[in-house]
Amino acid sequence: MLINQLARHILDTRYDDLDSETIEAAKLRLIDALGCSVAGYRAPSNNAFINLYRCWGGAPQATVLGYGDKLPLPQAALINCLTGRSFDFEVCGPAPEGINQGKMVGHVCSTTDPTALSVAEFLGASGKELIVAVILGGDIGARLAVSEEFNFDKCFEVCGTANAFGALAVVARLMKLNEAQIVNAYGILLHMMSGSYQSLWDGADSFKLPGALAAYNAVVAALLSQGGFGGVKDALQSPMGYYNLFSVKAFPECLVADLGKTFYAKGMHKLHPSCYGNHNPIECALDIVRAHEFAAEDIEQITMDVPPHRLVHFLNQTMTEQDTQARSLFSIPYAVANVMLNKSVEIEHYTHEHVYNPVVMALTEKVKMLPATDLTNHLTRLVVHLKDGRVLRAERNQLPLGWIENPVSKAQIIDKYWRNLNFAKSVPQEKAQRALNALLNLETLDDVTQITQNLH
């Protein structure tokens, strides 16, 4: 069965099987993801979770990054994933390769990478053990994502499904479950997966919940399996298993293509907060404000050519006083208006203090998306019409920055880490530097707790 193939893959992969490029990709993902978890504690909506867990109490098993609390392992893993997703700035992917190259994965790393650190801290695991777990979690989560149709209108939210499969691979590897326990844990996890894309349409804080719950559920499923609680025999292919119950259209052969030979490990590293669908429009807007002098009040209208299917889309929504901060992360009009007003893109621009600025909200109403049948999914044409008659244009015809076809450098990822830590203001610089040094030299660590000790 496929589920047994995944279990053996989790068990059989050795650190020595991994090439240096794959190991480096895992380390860079952790640097990116953990920096975002620290910064994300500043999103006020997360306080609802941390305050709830504080009043419940519990065993101090793992660290909540940014806050510094120690909570039971499932709760700490959940919050570290929740905060990491808060500005939609975290590393995406990992990108599939081989026959699955180019397929959509989503945000698997946003769950698997923080979860790996939480579990590794709890167990006192080594850096090499953490690296292997990170690679396996991303690999299996991404493989599940590309083994079915990715459809925003019909599917369960992939962060609640593929991320859960990946997170369980992380936990199972680090906790040293055997094959039968892994298969059984997936049989338990099947009952714990869900998630809806409606949060993206509504601009709701709950957009980050599927991936965070995926972490919690994976830890609980693994611990229950270790304790002898039974799940279904085949979580993937049974009559009411994952593919028959959750998938619109399944391609199970894509799950195991080159399994154990090609690891999906390379992260897609964002350089801007907000949904990746905003990033080419952001780059066009930045090209315009860097090349021309004008003020936001000089703008008459902004038009953007998009593929026709993007007109009725969660990204084509403006920002109003009734929206939560999360709306700004999934709004091309807000993303473009912000650049026109602030001439840059910073994490601060996606906080409450900025998103409710009446000037930027009014400017979002001037951004109009127009259908253009000649455009591919990522080609963007942006036109700014000024009141003095000037018409300013920019075009971007490439995959967004950070995709493996348009990669960013190691130096840019480290710079992003510092952007996150400086924004957070919760970690002294010398501690942040110690954590970064530990991550850069992760394979040499006997115990990864020195990372968590220095990220709050």
Residues 377 and 248 placed together within one structural domain of the fold:
no
Residues 176 and 41 placed together within one structural domain of the fold:
yes
Burial class (CB in 10 A: 0-12, 13-18, 19+), 430: exposed
Please name the helix (run of DSSP H) or strand (run of DSSP E) that holds residue 370, with its range, or none. strand 367-371
pLDDT of 378 above 80: no
Written as six digits, the tokens of 370 are: 């127009």
Of 218, 217, 194, which is closest to residue 206 (Cα–Cα)?
194
Those residues with Cβ within 8 angstroms of residue 421's Cβ, 6 or more apart along the chain or in another chain: 35, 38, 39, 427, 429, 432
Given this model, what pLDDT does residue 3 score?
Answer: 98
Residues 129 and 107 placed together within one structural domain of the fold:
yes
Residues 29 and 96 placed together within one structural domain of the fold:
yes
Question: d(Cα 267, Cα 56) in Å, to the nearest integer?
Answer: 36
Residues 10 and 154 placed together within one structural domain of the fold:
yes
Q: Which residue has the tokens 């952790």?
A: 30
CATH number for the domain harbouring residue 100? 1.10.4100.10
Confidence of residue 294 (pLDDT cuts 50, 70, 90): very high
Residues 138 and 281 placed together within one structural domain of the fold:
no
Residues 353 and 265 placed together within one structural domain of the fold:
no
**pLDDT tens-digit map of 48-107:** 999 999 999 999 999 999 999 999 999 999 999 999 999 999 999 999 999 999 999 999
Residues 93 and 13 placed together within one structural domain of the fold:
yes
CATH number for the domain harbouring residue 301? 3.30.1330.120
Provide the number of structural domains found in the chain: 2
Residues 295 and 176 placed together within one structural domain of the fold:
no
DSSP SS3 for 398: coil
Residues 428 and 358 placed together within one structural domain of the fold:
no
Question: d(Cα 98, Cα 411) in Å, to the nearest integer?
Answer: 27
Written as six digits, the tokens of 418 are: 């510092």
Complete edge-to-edge strand list for the sheet that includes strand 299-306: 367-371, 299-306, 380-386, 391-396
**pLDDT tens-digit map of 165-204:** 999 999 999 999 999 999 999 999 999 999 999 999 999 9
Residues 383 and 409 placed together within one structural domain of the fold:
no
Question: d(Cα 64, Cα 41) in Å, to the nearest integer?
Answer: 9
Residues 255 and 108 placed together within one structural domain of the fold:
yes
Residue 112: give the domain boundaries: 2-271+402-452
Confidence of residue 208 (pLDDT cuts 50, 70, 90): very high
